[in-house]
Chain A
């Protein structure tokens, strides 16, 4: 691959004055950048900075309004995804894009099936090739497992396997680590280095600056559609990158920790759900942020689902203020003051075809109507949240599909908060949103606990868990492996418990 003579100075992609406008608004302005063969090239920026637009242009989803792309020294016109694939640019999209009803190898080879003769599929060959690809990724996913049965992280791995089957020259990864745990992230970062050694250029977009710093050779910072800088990653500190992204000095991202107030508002005793949760017990105190850490599949989301009555518990008790409560449906949970913010924003959290108002009051609609819905009252409340959470939207009538991920998340937060819960379960509240929005969400959580609401924070970002939680429960294989307090809340301790080096055996 490298022996071929093309391009100059090892530049594989050169953009000359690339711009993109939508309805007169420039989302990308005059991007001039040279991406070198066999480097890991990071792109960072806030949501709306133009990262996605830029890679969608390289991937053929959008065509630039102005400017030119040179691929291996030759001008190319990437009309569509097919052209991108043919010249050797593969993209792993942000959202999982697999057919749930098919199994792993069928998805990997979808549209490029190996055949015996003209018509018959060569299943054996596809299976073995898929197994090989997945082994390279250090996963133990079976090639004949149905996609529906896989976790988000596993699906991500399949997506990556699918992208590298065609031996691309350039691999674009849009937030590939957003739903991965630390361990899976490490595997992925190693894989990127591995690909780089094979001469593949990797374009890596991530909000996690630590990863960017760790793995990238060079980093481009975008802000408001313009290039702020392109520098060697070695010369940049995470702090410096963050500063360039927002264009100002960031004070510490995590607010001051809040002391819990003592009384127990929620006690869970011996909670079990067949096959996923085993004998889970913990207390939640008033005004506390209790973190739940663990690897993907450790049972954290399942615990949340059991607490809000989506999963039927097989044994155990849930006590609110010392009294046992029956929670068999989300409605029961809300009556007992338990709210849930889902990790799956678009699948569970919000209705993308509904506007901001209707989403905000979806759970608490009863408060806004007698016989008819009081539209004025409802809109007032929506406006209140728009101001309180700094939600950026053209109007409160805008459908949520037109809002950015961070703003959708804020609406989802408002929706869960509006019934006035006492206990708030936040499941990956900052997944896939930018630094600024993250900081805002941390501040909201702090305000919540200051006002006496107790929070359960489920997160795969250890920094976040360490930064804001007063206690941390680490889960493994459906059990609580240990509960950490004070100085013991640190990355090493959490990983010891999460991976089974410490704590009770499963």
Chain B
């Protein structure tokens, strides 16, 4: 009976961007790339891109939860190196056979959880801002890695370990399978479970969430466990692909790529909403951009500039919609 001041057409537009904006960008980029370079569409190239993005892509999945809940984790890159290094040390200690690999993976996962728990505790119990807390642990994890390896390399003695990271299934590399599998699971967790709903609620407005009887500290804490776990998965895959981990280089700038993938995927840095498919598309967009710049012979030193512009552009577009 009343005229409602609801501009109806505006509503689907906004939802559209959040759901599909990164997909549109990906499709556009795909078309442009296939025109720009004949090699782009070759299966091997596509699989290469997917494999390359899977390491940070997996971490970006966990990062999506952290960012939606209103946090950030800068320590993921250093943690990747630390976990990867310890995984290789464990593997060597137990001899490098299949049993040793399983033990090493379990240790890696536990270590990822411990690292995540450390971040989570500092942030929720210590009430330190996530940016500062993880900036601190980023330095700590890297320094521990350097100390343990004496700034050298962790080299695996196992001959079968690389099979995990190098292998493929039905022609698609194992890391890609794992990224996609985790993406499906995380998507369901985010959209269809209580936990996922609560993560969004905490990020949207922590006070409302607290009054709604949501244990906001627990939710925020567990989001760091989730990202810790994805870091561990990524660290195992990375160490097995190289059969070694460099204490200085491994995981370098992973935090930037992971956060960038989440942001390009349409999750606002202020939290409250976001999608897993968006993050996957965001990661692939970054991969294609790198790939194209390589094929077009652009100086590798300029690739960071392009990446930076894409991130800023994505945020600007989001801001405009708001």
* Chain A contact residues, CB within 8 Å of chain B: 22-23, 25-27, 46-50, 53, 224-225, 308, 310, 329-331, 333-334, 340, 342, 347-354, 358, 362-363, 365-366, 369, 371-373, 375, 392, 394, 398-399, 402-404, 415
Contacts and interface: CB of A to CB of B under 8 A. Distances in A.
A373 B197 contact: yes
Nearest to A347: B207
Q: Tell me if A's interface is mostly helix, strand, loop or mixed.
A: loop
Interface in B65-83: none
Given A310-B211, A369-B194, A373-B197, A351 B3 contact: no
B260 interface: no
The 9 closest A-B pairs by CB, nearest first: A331-B213, A48-B2, A330-B213, A23-B7, A22-B7, A372-B192, A362-B212, A351-B204, A363-B212
A394 B11 contact: yes
B321 interface: no
Contact of B211 (A23, A348, A373): A348
Given A25-B5, A362-B212, 19 more contacts: A22-B5, A22-B6, A26-B3, A27-B3, A27-B5, A50-B3, A224-B1, A329-B215, A340-B211, A347-B207, A351-B208, A358-B201, A363-B212, A373-B194, A392-B2, A394-B8, A398-B6, A403-B6, A404-B5
A23 B272 CA distance: 28
A389 B180 CA distance: 43
Contact of B197 (A23, A50, A365, A394): A365
Contact of A371 (B7, B9, B193, B208): B193
A239 B3 CA distance: 24
A350 B208 contact: yes
Contacts of B185: none
Nearest to A351: B204
A415 to B, nearest CB: 7
B273 interface: yes
Interface string B193-217: 1100110110011011111111100
A348 B208 contact: yes
A351 B201 contact: yes
Interface of B: 1-11, 188, 192-194, 197-198, 200-201, 204-205, 207-215, 272-273
Nearest to B271: A353
Nearest to B203: A353
A124 B282 CA distance: 53
A330 B210 contact: yes
B2 A49 contact: yes
Contacts of B8: 23, 25, 394
Given A354-B204, A365-B194, A371-B193, A404 B210 contact: no
A353 B205 CA distance: 9
B4 A404 contact: yes
Contacts of B9: 23
A214 B8 CA distance: 39
B188 A372 contact: yes
Contacts of B205: 347, 351-352
Contacts of B2: 46-49, 224, 392
